[in-house]
Structure formats: structure tokens, C-alpha cells
Chains A and B, each alone.
Chain A
Amino acid sequence: MDYLDISLQLSEDDIAIKNAAHEFAEEIMRPAAKALDEMSAEDGVAKKSPLWPFLKKSYELGYHRILLPEAYGGLSLSPLQLNLVLEEWGWGSMGLGVLLGVAAFPFFAIALTGDDELIEKYVIPFCECTDGSIRGCWCGTEPEHGSDILYFDDFFKNPKIKGNVQARLKGDSWIINGQKSAWVSGGTIATHGLTFLQVDPSKGMAGGGVCVVPLDKGVSRGKPLEKIGQRDLNQSEVFFDDTKIPANHMITEPDYYPEMVDLILGAANAAMSALATGVARAAFEEALVYARERVQGGVPITKHTSVRQRLFDMFAKVEACRALSRAVFNFNFNVSPPVTEYSIAAKTRCTQTCFEVTHEAIQILGGNGLAREYLVEKIFRDARASLVEDGLNEMLAAAGGLTITETYPRKSSDIY
């Protein structure tokens, strides 16, 4: 369903990009997401899975390169256009939206470095790929570390706290050992990982690094994770066993690792807010369509005041999510480095609101809302997962709280 966009700033290009992304979300994402949701996690990544034609189509259409610069074959979308596309992806499927986002992650990070050799070796082939055979993931989460790696309180520098994946320099190479936990999005099928790991244990978690790891040698994966929601997003453990990468693949070393994590979080959380807005809108639309048709007491339930009030509340929440997400996206993709507490505010608020709206949608559908036959059953589960992924909302709030207690109010002259 289309919606009235209350921004008067959208250009013809913006609208065309939004419409194309909506068509993709409706015709390609939703059918694939529904099929994957109903399969076991293992079948979801098997040879005959609908995942593969979905990825092929996505790459053919160029959606894997929306973040990347034109000079390397990317689409160079503006911040607003990125936000529009991500909302539509969320509307189609949050899980598959995350999968497409992380597929570009290592290549986006390399493009930022401007390193010719790495760009030639990785970014250009990724942009040229049209069959989905080159896929990235974000190897962040560890068995003993999750959202805490995003929270730079005192413990972050405690040398007693060890990372579960460590790298040591040997000659011209880094040797990597350890384990990432089962929530590596796209980890089951990724060919390359943007990997966060510990380089200097004497600095605790602050002694980290960020590197790009081809996942073909010295790497094994766990079984795909069975989970409550976003079942269309494959996730698994990634194990590193004396995995060797050239020295220049370590793109961030401990001297600015915390700042780099903050920068990446600022971008990723903003993206999550747009995806969550799309999920909330999908739930609202499903509830509205159902309520217009469902007859109770001899009239469509839209004639009942309580239903009208609840639908309006859902509508208002979706609009509020979009306004916050777009504002933060527009700001944080137009200043560098981003002001991360605003991205955190958008992620936590939009995912929480999206969970509430999907919950309301189930209430309006009643018993049908609990049935697999209806989309709201799936998107409610997807929305629940969003409260945990990309940083547990409570931990993100603690991290954002630490920042605002130290820096609020920020001055624009300190930002740009």
C-alpha cells in the first residue's frame, strides 16, 4: 500500500527510487521471506532454498550496492534515498533487509579507507557481482560479548576482560583465532566478514581491531540458528582457526577502535530505525485492511470507536517513527562522524514502537492475528527480534545515557 509522504522535499528521483524499492519489497522480498520463515533454518540455506533466487534478483537489481560510491560501481544514493529504500525493505521483510545491509558491510568499510589495493580486490568485484555469490557479514557478537562492545564504560578498558576472537601479528600477516557467537547475521553463507576482534588484550575490549576476512580458509560455521523471529535472516557461529589475513586487511587498530565502533554503530542504528519504520507500517496496513473487511456486530469493525482509536494510534506511531528516523538519518549521514546518541534514540524508539504496533495489529486481528495465514503473526515475531539485534535496546540506552550525561547539549560547532 502506498502512503502520503508529508515531506515536500522529495524529488522525482527520490519518488522513483522509493516506488521501485516498494515493488521489490512486495514482489521479491515478501514471497521469499514467507517461504523462508516457514522452513527450518537449515533448509533456509540449503541448495534449493528460495534464499538464492532472492539474492540473485537483489544483486541483479543492484540493491547490494546502495551504500557504495559510484566510482567503484555503487549507486551512491543520497541519505534520504537510503532511508526511503530501507523503510521499504523493512516493509517487505526486516530479516532480508538486514541480510542485504550486512552483505555490503565489509565492502562499505573498505571503500571508506580509500585503500586502492583492497578496493580493487574486494569492492569492485562486489559491485560487479550480479549473482549474489559475494556476500558480507558483520562478525561482531561473541559468546561472552554482545551489546557490551558498544558501551564504553569503565569495564571497556579492563585488561581482565578478554575477547573471544583474537588476532596477533606474525610477519606480514594477522593470525586470527576464536569464535563468534550464533547471532552473526548472514554468517552462515557469507564469503567475507567485517570482523571485530581483540588485538591488544592489555587494553581490554578497547584494544580491538576491525578487519576484513575472506571466509574461505581457516573458517568454519555453526549450524544456522533456529529462532523466534527474522527467521529469513540466517545467523550462525563463525569459528576462526589460525585464519591468516594480510596485514593491510586490518583496517582499524586499537589506537582508534572505540571511535570506529561508535562511528559504525551510528550508521547501523540509523539504518535499523528505517527498517523498523517499515515493519511498523506493514503492521498498520495489515490491521487497517483487515478492519475494513472484518464484520462484527453487523458492521465492519472500523465502525467501532475503539478500533478507530487504536488504528489512529498505530498510524500516528508510524508517522512519528518515520519523522525521527529520517531526521536522524539525514543528519548522521550528512555529518561525519555521526552523533551516535541520536542514532541510538532512533533505533531504540523505532524498534520499540514497531513492536507495539505489531502487537496492536494482532489485537485488531484477534485470533486470526495468531495464525500463520496472516502476515502480522510473522512481523510481530520479526519486530520482537529487533529489540535485541544491533544492540539490546536497554544496553544501547545505557550507552546513549552515558554519552548525554557527558556531552548534552552538543553544539553544532563541535559536530561539523
Chain B
Amino acid sequence: MSVVFKDTVKAKEFYKAFWTDLINELGSQIDISLLFIVKDPDFMMYIDSNGIKIDDEIGDAKADIQFTLSVDTAHQFWLKELSLPKALATRRVRTKGSLPKVMKLLPLLKPAYARYREYCEKYNLPQKI
């Protein structure tokens, strides 16, 4: 049971808003597609430079990198409470997609950490787990 999100609707709304904003900022810098398979609560989110698709909207879209993780793990990652190496080594985040592409993504995400905290405040989410 997630300690951050009590229901799926709120989790989807939060992450869709967060990523939409990020994609608008990054523009063409995001030249790869991402699929998040999120657990507890369960939903899927597909992201590319064109925008966000959730669950059934995704259809047959193939992503360059697929991440499988719980929503609480995602929260900890964005709050910088959990490093990527630790998340990967302990299998809290599992990825499918070339490691160089995963590593290429990391520097692009730098501006997102601060914004994530702003979103947490806006949505009244805990900033520590």
C-alpha cells in the first residue's frame, strides 16, 4: 500500500501534470520514449516528446526504455532519497532498454528534481517517506 498516494486517479493526475510540464521544458531534448509500469497503485504511463499517454491510450506504442517500479519508489527517487544505482541494484527499479540510453536520460532530468518538490507542495504530498 502506497504511503504517498491513496488512490490511482490522484497518482495518474499528479504524474501526468509533472511530466507534461517537464516535456514542455525539455522539448526536443527528450528524443527517447519512456514507459513506466507503476505498481501500487497500478497504472502505466507512456512518455515521448509528443506528450503523455496513460493505460489504454498507450496501445501498441513501443518505448526505448521501460521502467518498472512502485509509486513510492518513484517518489523517493524524485525527492533524491533514493539514488538510481541503489534503486537498480536492489531491484526497486527495473529497466528494459539500453543502459547508455538510461544514462543519457539522467542529465536531462536535473531540472525536474526541484520542480518535483514544488508539485509535492501543490498536491500536498509528503516530502519524505
Contact = CB atoms under 8 A, between A and B. Distances in A.
B88 to A, nearest CB: 5
A148 B124 CA distance: 48
B18 to A, nearest CB: 18
A77 B84 contact: no
Contact of B103 (A69, A334, A416): A69
Interface string A225-263: 000000000000000000000000001100110011011
Contacts of A335: 94-96
Interface in B80-118: 83-86, 88-91, 93-100, 102-104, 106-108, 110
A112 B83 CA distance: 9
B100 A76 contact: yes
Nearest to A82: B100
A336 B104 contact: no
Given A114-B84, A262-B89, A416-B66, A334 B106 contact: no
Given A70-B104, A333-B99, A335-B96, A416 B68 contact: yes
A111 interface: yes
B89 A337 contact: yes
A116 interface: yes
A333 B89 contact: no
Contacts of A79: 98-100
A260 B89 contact: yes
Contacts of A112: 84-85, 103
Given A252-B85, A416-B94, A336 B106 contact: no
Nearest to A334: B98
Nearest to B94: A416
Contacts of A336: 88, 93-95, 99, 102
Contacts of A109: 85
Interface in A189-229: none
Interface string B58-86: 00000000101000000000000001111
Interface string A92-123: 00000000000000000101111010000000
Contact of B86 (A69, A70, A256): A256
A306 interface: no
A77 B100 contact: yes
Contacts of B104: 69-71, 76
A1 interface: no
B107 A113 contact: no
Given A113-B83, A416-B66, A71 B107 contact: yes
B98 A333 contact: yes
B36 to A, nearest CB: 13
A8 interface: no
Given A114-B83, A415-B94, A259 B108 contact: no
Interface in A253-293: 255-256, 259-260, 262-263
Nearest to A413: B68
A366 to B, nearest CB: 45
Contact of A113 (B84, B96, B100, B110): B84
A72 interface: yes
Contacts of A76: 100, 103-104
A113 B94 contact: no
8 contacts: A111-B106, A252-B89, A256-B86, A259-B89, A263-B85, A333-B99, A335-B96, A416-B95
* 10 A-B pairs with the lowest CB-CB distances in the bound complex, closest first: A416-B96, A259-B89, A71-B107, A69-B103, A336-B95, A76-B100, A336-B88, A114-B106, A260-B89, A263-B89
Given A112-B103, A336-B94, 9 more contacts: A70-B104, A71-B107, A79-B98, A113-B83, A255-B86, A256-B90, A333-B98, A333-B99, A337-B88
